Structure 1
Amino acid sequence: MLAARVIPCLDVNQGRVVKGTNFVKLRDAGDPVEVAARYEAEGADELVFLDITASHEARAITLDMVRRTAERVFMPFTVGGGIRTLDDAKALISAGAEKVSINSSAVRTPELVSQISRWFGSCATVVNIDPKRVTKTDEDGNEREVWEVHINGGRIPTGLEAVAWAKQVEELGAGEIVLTSMDCDGTKDGYDLEITRAVSEAVSIPVVASGGAGRPEHLADAILLGKADAALAASIFHFGEYTIEQTKRVMADRGINVRMLV
């Protein structure tokens, strides 16, 4: 059985790591390269960098940050935000990223998922999905709750339903999905286990649970109850509430296979 991964997420805005609640109310959490180096020393399995305003501001990710990170850390890291073309992905991989993650561009230009997958392989192709629970009325006037995919940092609803979209991106060539519940993001009340499990059971590629971690037990729940392959967290690590080692020990105590520092 593969080890479950613990992945700190570094949301980057204007060159700084930030963290908010429900995608707003951002707080500064430090320099991205220094934070990345600290997490590697603490035993993180991977990192995810997300430039949270690149798509909204229609600009590219700062390649210098990616290069400096690659010079300092040796663990794999994924970079996302503002990737609109295959050339954007090529530049990030060349700068040192192991994987690239797309969200808004995947919705607007689904063939980009296939292009990146064909060029770099599915293992380097990640799709971020940001769903929010909304109530919709069908043609018969019946109301039902759905998980609607949002893009541009959660600003724009797409009409896509998260589980169906997850299946589609797998068919397009994605090798991993990062699933961030907009309802739970930053709340520290735990992941949305229902949608995490629904997506995990609907696809055969790894799913990374994201949005809502408040304590180590939540990461364990994501693996055991949400059926995720990895758990991503930000606030609990950025502001010193828990360490990577503490989190992994809690997970190991619940029978989860995790990689511990020797």
Structure 2
Amino acid sequence: MLRTRLIPCLLLKNESLVKTVKFKEYNYIGDPVNTVRIFNELEVDELMFLDIFASKENRDINFKILEDIANECFMPLSYGGNIKSLDDAKKIFKIGFEKVVINSSSFNNLKLIEEISNYFGVQSVVCSIDIKNSFWGTQKIYSHHGRKKQNVDIVSWVKKLEKAGAGELLVTSIDKEGSWEGYDIELIKKITSNVQIPVIANGGCGKVEHLGEVVEKANASACAIGSMLVYQKKGMGVLVNFPDKKELSKELNG
């Protein structure tokens, strides 16, 4: 049994799965429901779906595709993408999802996290932050799929999210996302050392060793994985897969 959760982080665009690189260009991966069937067979512990253009384009949540996913999926599910209200969260949970992922909406309405957390419990809310290095080497938070820079201090913001009722944090390095180069260890460490809630590292995983590295060196509680699970290898074609569990156990459990 792995002590560290490994979460396939799957990106939705309308009703298709896609994969981005540094939040920019994206490639078509396939049908989300068929992909869920494959992960069912691979006995993955949980799945995360993020509609990456929903907030940027201010699109309504596609509840139909979420229903299709939930009806097929055997494991716990989380969803993020332009969730604006407690009613949105209620609909998502009623469909069968266990967690909601809040990012862009929190900057306009931090109270939304408190409302959902109070109603469903802190374990139901994942707060997501996307961070990018500036030209001068400083790190900035971005929302709306990396399009809108937020003038907030990273440490102060994650503490506010924790206080508001976040049950865990999804921390994504935009510069690392889709790179296969490994997680931003210093960034994840910066977050984990300033909050008490679990931190999910995201962006950059390209091999099993990267998982052990971010857990050991940065105290990540969980690892989100994207490219490594939807491609054969870097630069090669689509192949939905999951790392060998013996290899994972050796790397993560020692």
**TM-score, structure 2 length as denominator?**
0.92
Q: Secondary structure at the match of 2:181?
A: coil
Relative to total residues, which structure has the larger strand share, 1 or 2?
1
- 1:155-195 Cα deviation digits (max 9, x unpaired): 01001122221111000000011100011111110010101
| Structure 2 counterpart of 1:198 | 190
Contact 1:207 1:229 in 2 (8 A): yes
Which of 208, 230, 242 is 1:244 aligned to? 242
The alignment's C-alpha RMSD in Å is 1.7
Q: Secondary structure at the match of 1:24?
A: coil
Contact 1:217 1:250 in 2 (8 A): no
Any unmatched runs of 5+ in structure 1? 137-144, 258-262
Query: Partners of 1:245 and 1:255 in 2: how far apart?
Result: 12
Judged with a 3 Å threshold, the aligned counterparts in structure 2 of structure 1 residues 233 and 95 are, in CA distance, closer, same or farther, namely same
Q: Secondary structure at the match of 2:218?
A: coil
Contact 1:149 1:162 in 2 (8 A): yes
Identity %: 35
Query: Partners of 1:146 and 1:249 in 2: how far apart?
Result: 39
- 1:30-64 Cα deviation digits (max 9, x unpaired): 11111122113213221110000000111122111
Give the superposition deviation at 1:216: 1.3
* 2:157 maps to 1:165: yes
Any unmatched runs of 5+ in structure 2? 234-239
* 195-204 vs 168-177, which moves further: 195-204
Query: Partners of 2:217 and 2:193 in 1: how far apart?
Result: 11
Alignment: residue pair count: 248
Query: Partners of 1:255 and 1:183 in 2: how far apart?
Result: 25
Match of 1:217, as an amino acid?
E
Judged with a 3 Å threshold, the aligned counterparts in structure 2 of structure 1 residues 256 and 161 are, in CA distance, closer, same or farther, namely farther
- 1:138-170 Cα deviation digits (max 9, x unpaired): xxxxxxx43211000000100112222111100
| Structure 2 counterpart of 1:25 | 25
Give the superposition deviation at 1:255: 4.7
Which of 215, 226, 237 is 1:223 aligned to? 215
- 1:205-251 Cα deviation digits (max 9, x unpaired): 111000011111111212111210111111111123484242x4333
Query: Partners of 1:2 and 1:252 in 2: how far apart?
Result: 6
* Structure 1 runs (4+) greater than 6 angstroms displaced: none
Match of 1:12, as an amino acid?
L
| TM alignment of 1:42-57, pairs within 5 A | 42-57=42-57
Which of 172, 193, 203 is 1:211 aligned to? 203
